Chain A
């Protein structure tokens, strides 16, 4: 067979080096070509990761057994000999950017699997890669400011089970640098400044929310094929909102990153919530942030232990702090005794606060005219069990009130207790809070409750005194809520509201707080819906199609109302007409719908639907094995199902 010259660029020879010409015949297989090529370079190195990339056709020549003829390569082909794994800048859900090697030659699905394996994220099928938003505009300032975590030196291991070392996968324990990366992955990051949040892109409408879905990579094609270059930036995100088999024991990174993604979705108003929900989210963020900080201190001495053990030691610390031993020594039931001002708002009375001697015992407050009367009958005894406790505090104004709503057969009795100072307030407030749950001062959580209240107060203090300065302990409450509420409330107004919500979550451990956050997020009515702009067959206007894990939703753009929902379990089949780029779906009862996608590729829609169906096939038993073939079958779109 006739020999001809094949032009191959070898990247490792440098950007300016001319392409190599090697003489080949059409029946030479790819492996042979590579062999010749390597001999010709005279470079001694590990070439095992290299493969041939065919530039014009945008495809890899990975089958080393195939001949050039079979691959269709002729003399006019320009091939590049290049590594299959290249560094990629990965934008993580928590906003950090991590540089690491990823596979550019396998399907994006596999690439994500590889990435997740390194990051110690289970269930990679729930994640995917997408192109970042507006990269070009901000490139200049970003490159300078962006803090880069680097994992490029970490080899991609093939084994799926990795040994733990110091509570983290062994490949993170290599150096302080990689340990820091693991910490970044597994511990939630401190809140950003409110100004920074306000600057980020926020979708203003459902239409805006459809844009993100134009950017997903195609799972069945490789990164190179989709035009991703070495050192490009891609976002790694949870794409399918169905989180299989979440287990805090093994899912430190997954849980943290999911929390971060949820948190940012809320902060950036990607998902709508009510004011009450926002306050609770804010309180949980504050709590999680605070616990994450203290976790650092614990774990720094013993490496990154898993969340649980770290939390345990934290607990022990707290218990040790409390003076429960004192209590035991004296053997008397603890009480609080003090002069407080009491105010009972009643209609048509102008009476203000009046001072009484108050005694807090068990779950009740008794008050007397004066300290001298304390052995007599109290003026009144208030049993706080089941009552509602709300703070009414303004540190700047030195106002420390506790508002009690005490249930009684006739309704709720409203009573205000006014304390003199922070210390008194935090003690009484903590006692009221516990009593409302039926706990007494003896409860071990009392001291930590007092402490929590104090820290929160100090946060408010530093806010009002010097809004710019932020210490570890104090964060601006504005950074806990979305810009809408930043605008609506001043920190002074916001803090008490978050404090109020915080009372209910202050006792949660770090993991439970994160789980609680995710739980509330997942209970939002709009949770897990991905929006696509589509045009239904026979309709003249654009509409929005929402894709969720169990249903499709047709939304009228004009009024934003749900017009119709179809559930997957009624779905007979769906397919894509690639020529006219139309998705057609058939449901039980002869219901047929068809639509074309306005801004996203219909492959993305197809993949979303198929992906969710794939997710629903996962079962608990086989959680370890990922049926990749089935995934591609459901999402590939090459054959109609």
Chain B
């Protein structure tokens, strides 16, 4: 039998509930017959109607197996056509479509029909939006479950080019923010990783920036602050994102974390120092990678850092932030802002450190932190300055700028630095000049270069021996033909040797001295000298070795979670030390901290000697020392080992 039922909207009536079958009423049959020019009697129509129903049901049942074998849930027109074809019936059901055809009811009378709109071919032909071809069928693989656990990646994502804020994106945004700010550290890690590598989230950037600007509202919660900072880091590292003017907003959020007296810092147990350190690092990272996006960013940052530093009303933790911020921005920043400001600031700090009253204990501890941070910053300043000078001296040519030479020297000497190389040169000077107008008579604006020896002398007057010991390069530069470095090394040596004498007059906090393995604790350089020629690895150029030692300082800072180790660890470390001091008194202290420090930065330490070689020790074969080096580096060795390292500690000094 052959009937074109799709042309005649069948009047389907649910006759009896229990039958659950659609039936074609005889009226429909009659209508169809009439349209074909045939008159049907009632009984014939009834017979036909029933037969049609049965055949339709049969065909439907048969078509369902085509659906099952095609592994689908939805019966398609093709399935039905196939069933008809295999039962030797003309396929009459039309063509299939991906989308379900809308089946519309007609209000008057119970009539249902498939909507069949007219297609305007002219319009279609002249349309400018040429439909894209279907994407290639492809196979993608992903590890869905590792060892039968956990869904590592949402499976079945389809790449899309849509950048508008679709539902998917919104969902993504919600999921990501929830994951980052949520409790699950694993989830957070995954979310951050994705944020760092997802190429399709440009549309969400403003939302994320907004979330990050929420730092001000969570200043009581170090954990959340940390998470937000990590979010900043991920966004900054995402190679697909163009941050544009959002950099400013991100920077201000980061600066907030660096400089503000956070509510969380009220409790001394909170380690907001780490947060500040991390934020400072992040700041420098943003600056060096995205600084070109906003003009004058560098000077704005410097300005705000300087403002904080010069404001005595601000708490010490803010000052600390300013110092680490400057430090992270590079030694030039330190030279321009911190160094000129130091004499003024020193008086305040000294006052804090000299106050031994119980009520001041907390503030004093903070003061030590700041002290340590300043110390690290100025040491780096000195080292880098020396390097740049020596490089320029090596370059020799008058046309060659010291900064350029310094840059080169830096580059070749620090291959291992992961963040973008920190140029020794300033950002374009034009910025500085245009900022001078807005500056309010800050010291660094009328800054004139200070010669290295002068600088050293001044700094030494503040820090004394602790500076001398941490500061390297003397002998390394000794080989260089330039006169200045030699001179500097000489000047350095003198205070170094005089350190023991000056000791009593210096209001040097004992702890800091310990931490830095000051000559007073670990023995003066004269008593425990190590020949510089031994320290320097054979075959390496002297200049290189010295600079690599200097670069080790920032590296250790960046790698350690608590870079402000110098002073504060007096608080943190001592109670936690698991090893009982083997001896009574200060030497034990030095041993412990020394070991720890060596562990962290032993590579840098072994070159830190600026003292004239004692001829007697020069005879020591280089090998003997070299093979001790690994011992210095080991941290996780049993106590017995520690005694070894204790001994070895003395060698470089």
Query: Is the pairing of A and B real?
Result: no
Q: Which residues of B contact A (CB under 8 A)?
A: none
Q: Which residues of A contact B (CB under 8 A)?
A: none
